[in-house]
Chain A
Amino acid sequence: MGGSSKTKLTERILVRALADITLVVSLLFAPWQATLVLGILGAFIFPRFFEIIIVGILFDLLYAPTGVGVMVLLGTISGMALYGSIEYAKTHLRGY
């Protein structure tokens, strides 16, 4: 019984780790729209998918032209907004 739940937990961690790696690879190599879709999917599939915020911050650290004077933090703000709104939506949706 205990062994089975431990295996399930390990499986869940592995699946989430795989999702995280996919998200980071997509951030580095895929068009930004693909990363956005993957992030939204992850937030709906996994509980408390805060990785979407981290990826948003990484997105700005990698690509945002912060040196031009005005702080452009589209990724960070979008990540936070998506996380908040999807977590909020999940409280009102069946199956969560």
Chain B
Amino acid sequence: MNMKKETLWGAVCVLLTALALLPLVLPSHPWPALVRDTLAIRGYDDTGAPNLVAAMYLGYRAYDTLGELVVLLAALTAAIGLIRKTGAAPLPREEGASKKTHTEIINVTAGKLSPMVLLFGWYLMFYGYQSPGGGFQGGVVLASGIIFIALGRREEWVGRLNVRRYDASSISLGWIEAVSFLMILLLCIAGPLRGFSILENPFPGKEGFHPAFYITGFNICIGLKVGSGIAMACLFMMEKSND
């Protein structure tokens, strides 16, 4: 009875929402072309990125990207803090649940795929300024590659990226994330140091530097930050104690 009541009220709510949203959806106003035309003419000269999407998020709206990275950092900090606080005691396994979570097929496929996925992630980061791709996309693909390594149980590979190692002598995902965020902050203040405004491309292409130098650097730092952050959160969730 209770379930039926919930379904009924759910349907009423959906109907009311549909009535409220229909006036937004039905009229077919043409999408304004002004921004597209302006960017097509000025985007490359203003920011140095032929890819106009990269010109937008690393040039005109770079503050937005910076804020987004801070949101990502805050979310990952909260998630990792919450997972670690639960302690390492494993949950009681339900009766009849299969203990075997990995098959040989997953191990082999994930292990073989991971180098290609990692390479593709680097490609997206390096060529994001002039082809479809960019820091965020490359970072997510890098994270997928690291998760593939973990899924393939390549312990000797993922060992050096262990999420619980924070000593200075080892490379850990936490260190990669911290250093890439520091690099992003340095790139933010590179403009004022060279006499430009903050977050402006400090290498406009007149002194031997390719104008995309700044955009590519930004893309690589963002990719490393996003990739290490998402991979770290996923590896924390995949730990054996959380099975």
| A-B complex is real | no
Binding site for A on B (CB under 8 A): none
